[in-house]
Structure 1
Amino acid sequence: MYSEEKITDPYTGPELLDALEKPEKIHKVVQEAILLAGGAVAILLQIAEPGVAQGVDNHSNFAYRPLDRLRTTMTYVYCVTFGTREEKKAVIEMAHRAHASVNGPGYSADDPQLQLWVAATLYAVGIELYQGMFGMFEDADAEAIYREYSVLALSLRVTPDMWPPNQKEFWKYWDNQIATMVVTDNAKSVAKDLLRNEEAPLQIRLLLPLVRLMTAQMLPDRLRQAYGLRTSKVRRTTYRFIMGLTRATYPCLPKTIRTYPMKYYMRDMRRRLENAA
């Protein structure tokens, strides 16, 4: 059990935990397995921020453990969204402890500006994929879901005033970030390990051509070019065909299948918390 009276860190205190208990509409989005299709896109967007790229390249090992960041990210997102109050607190504290060691000249994983960008990529990629499958939200629902996504940022040491107050301001922030990002050698190194990983298990290597195709088409043009990913009329047509086929079939799948990854990662998280107790 975790006692809130012992908390001294304001970023894991009762006020944050109270806020994390309120989201309702975000559940509808986060539970969908289709969001995993944007995993590589979100990572490449995140590491287009030089500070994030330096931290990931220096402190992660994509070459030999390519799914680690996806696992930790999705475990965090699912737990913060669906976990119990104690589970959320435990996972947030674990993330903060892990981030404490990820620092060096010019970067720190605890930098709120970097974590704001990480949270922004999770919202932007997730909402694009969800609406691509199920259609656009009504304005009121779209704003409510956007506001609830802020809990992912707040739990990463981002202060409430840093999260843009509405979608219009968010997309201004987003466009400015995309226009000014610099894809560094650190970012290119991580992207190579992620998309062209010769050390990955065979089943992952077989999927990488498809992952590269989908990721290249989903990235903004400027960043796709900076990463050296290719596009062409044939690739764009193939992408549209795959997305159209997925749009026609995915929403028809039973909810138990569409939410299986969420349930799997939640079970994995609970098992790890029990082992750590």
Structure 2
Amino acid sequence: MEPADAEHDDHAVFRRHGAEAVLLLGGAAAILLQLADPRVARGVARHSDFASRPLDRLIGTLDYVYAVGFGDDEIAAAAVRRVNARHAPVRSRPGATDESTDAAYSAFDADAQRWVASTLLAVALDIHERVYGPLPPTDADAIVRGYAPLGFRLQGSREGWPDTRQEFDAWWNARLGTLRVTDEARHVARTLLSTSDALRGLSFLLPPVRLVTAELLPPALRDAYGFRWTPRARRVAQAWLAAVAAVWPWLPRIVRHAPMRVSLHRARRRYAERVHRGR
């Protein structure tokens, strides 16, 4: 296969995977994984209100992922500018000293952005295989490569991003051993997954969300966040995921891909309005 053909085939595999709204089941797990990097936790705790407005954070993340993964060049570039503008103030103060000087942070830290992108990939692969079964190695490799632009379209580098599922799994497992759940991370996680005003009107969803989130986390992080993980809790979480897996593949594509279509429509409208105001 010629390189151009291989790239096109990779993109097609990624789009089939990335368009599935069922991947959103892993959203909270991805966030808790991100927060287990103290740099991310400190930046979120000091500069973001997403724990009290999780739906806004979810929509913003989805808009960026769908714009980069599915949008044209103009839409992707607009999404990158939007994220960079929001990230600009997220950095530690020069010379600041406190109890967590080891957690100096910047939203433009390429390694931290790579970590955030990798959490989205790891959780998405897990959800995909729980719903559809094991991925063929060539498809899994294509999906791994398909997530690379989420980091390098910002300040992350394409260099060093794994080319295969095997390479990604090796890097991921090594990285898990370096994580540390801080008090800041636990505070944000409690706010995100508590029955507070964060999800007003949707609090009935929180018990299954907490169970599924705990099931998707590595055991060490699950314990560090303080989840009460009993055999019964695990059985219930796995039953929820099994029920989704039994139903989801039978839903029509228009339903399974609806969030992606809505997000791209919103992005095109926002971009068109920006171009119009610039004239």
Coarse TM-score class (shorter-chain normalised): 0.7 to 0.9
Alpha-carbon offset, residue 201 of structure 1? 4.2
2:28 equivalent in structure 1: 40
CA–CA distance in 2 between the matches of 1:264 and 1:188? 32
CA distance in 2: counterparts of 1:226 and 1:176, whole angstroms: 18
Q: 2:231 aligns with which of 220, 230, 233?
A: 233
CA contact (8 A) 1:52 1:107 kept: yes
Match for residue 59 of structure 2?
Answer: 71
Local SS of the residue matching 2:123: helix
User: CA separation in 1, counterparts of 2:75 and 2:216?
Assistant: 33
Aligned residue type for 1:58: R
Q: Which amino acid aligns with 2:25?
A: A
Structure 1 runs of 4+ with >6 Å offset: none
* Residue type at the aligned position of 2:83: A
Q: Runs of 5+ in structure 1 lacking a partner? A: 1-18
Q: Counterpart of 1:4?
A: none
3-state SS of 1:203 partner: coil
Counterpart of 2:172 (choices 154, 171, 174) is: 174
Q: Distance in 1 between matches of 2:86 and 2:52?
A: 19
User: Once the 2 structures are TM-superposed, how far is the Cα of residue 272 of structure 1 from its aligned partner?
Assistant: 2.7
Tell me, yes or no, if structure 1 residue 259 matches structure 2 residue 247: no
Aligned to 1:100: 88
Where does residue 210 of structure 2 map in the other structure? 212
**Partner Cα distance (2:255, 2:26) in 1:** 18
1:67-216 to 2 correspondences below 5 Å: 67-105=55-93, 106-216=104-214
User: CA–CA distance in 2 between the matches of 1:217 and 1:140?
Assistant: 27
Long gaps (5+) in structure 2: 1-6, 94-103
1:56 to 44, 69, 75: 44
Decide whether the 8 Å contact of 2:34 with 2:116 is kept in 1.
yes
In structure 2, the residue matched to 1:274 is 272
C-alpha deviation, 1:240, in angstroms: 1.7
Q: Give the root-mean-square deviation of aligned CA atoms.
A: 1.9
**CA deviations over 1:53-90 (Å, ceiling 9, x no partner):** 11111111135312122111111100101111111111
Partner residue of 2:3? none
Q: Please report how far the alpha carbon of residue 149 of structure 1 lies from its aligned counterpart in structure 2 after TM superposition.
A: 1.7
- Say if 2:52 and 2:192, in contact at 8 Å, map to a contact too: no
1:164 shift after superposition: 2.4
Q: Is the 8 A contact 2:30 2:120 kept in 1?
A: yes
One-letter amino acid of the structure 2 residue matched with residue 256 of structure 1: I
Following TM superposition, by how much is the alpha carbon of 1:200 offset from its aligned partner in structure 2, in angstroms?
Answer: 2.7
CA distance in 1, matches of 2:137, 2:187: 40
Q: Is the 8 A contact 2:142 2:164 kept in 1?
A: no
Aligned equivalents of 1:97, 1:257: Cα separation in 2 = 32
Q: Deviation string for 1:6-41 (max 9, x for gaps)? A: xxxxxxxxxxxxx99x82211011100101110000
Normalising by structure 1, we get a TM-score of 0.88
Counterparts of 1:243 and 1:122, CA distance in 2: 18
Other structure's SS at 1:78 match: helix
The size of the alignment, in residue pairs, is 259
Letter in 2 for 1:240: Q
Residue of structure 2 in register with 1:29 after alignment: 17
Contact 1:153–1:163, Cα closer than 8 Å, also in 2: no
Q: Percent identity?
A: 40
Secondary structure at the counterpart of residue 67 of structure 1: helix
